[in-house]
Amino acid sequence: MVIGVALLILSPVLVFLLPNFIANSLYFRAGAWFVFVSKGVYAVYAVAFVLLIAACFVLFAMSLQKKSLLIGAGLVIASAFCFYLGGLHYTKLTDQGIDYRPVLSFTTHHYEWSNTDEAIYRSVPSKDGDSTFTFTFRDKTELTMIVNQLFFKFMQPIENRLSYEGVEVEKVLVPPKD
């Protein structure tokens, strides 16, 4: 019960910190600028913590009976699987290009900067939504990233690298909604 309550109290903080920490620990290598995770990963980690907390409360509520041990073990295994799935997703900017694996996917995609066909930065007022940066590659695949404070720090290096490859970043200013 104590472990379940502690997880219940700590999980909001852990859900906020763990995805980025784990992604950078697993995928950051020499030549990488940064490793980003999307909002979907936070939801996967939240589900994992809910399953882990449920396992603790099932064990407490059913007084450690054989049935509760089986249910608890199943919930812990499901939680571990969710943590594994959440740890697979990342978007990494490197000197060579962009590597990414979408949420709940086992396929990693790699695009060199020279394969970028178009780049569009859409600046949206914060009260109206999120600004986005969309890469369109030569095979017509699109990668859209939300521009938060962390991503914004990499805007100049991205623009410089794309300019070196002959791709100009189109900047679109979205007017405020009334």
pLDDT mean across residues, the chain: 89
Q: How far lies 103's CA from each of 40, 154, 178, in Å?
A: 7, 22, 34
* Secondary structure (H, E, C), 100-154: EECCCCCCCEEEEHHHEEEEEEEECCHHHCCCEEEEEECCCCEEEEECCHHHHCC
- Return the percentage of the chain with pLDDT > 70, whole number: 99
Q: For residue range 110-149, what is the model confidence (pLDDT) as tens digits?
A: 999 999 999 999 999 888 888 999 999 999 999 999 988 8
| Mean pLDDT calculated for residue range 60-67 | 81
Q: Which fold has domain 108-173?
A: OB fold (Dihydrolipoamide Acetyltransferase, E2P) (2.40.50)
Q: How confident is the model at residue 1 (pLDDT cuts 50, 70, 90)?
A: low
Which residues belong to CATH 2.40.50 in the chain?
108-173
163 alpha carbon, distance to own chain's centre? 27
Q: What is the pTM of this model?
A: 0.82
Kind and range of the H or E run holding 80: helix 66-88
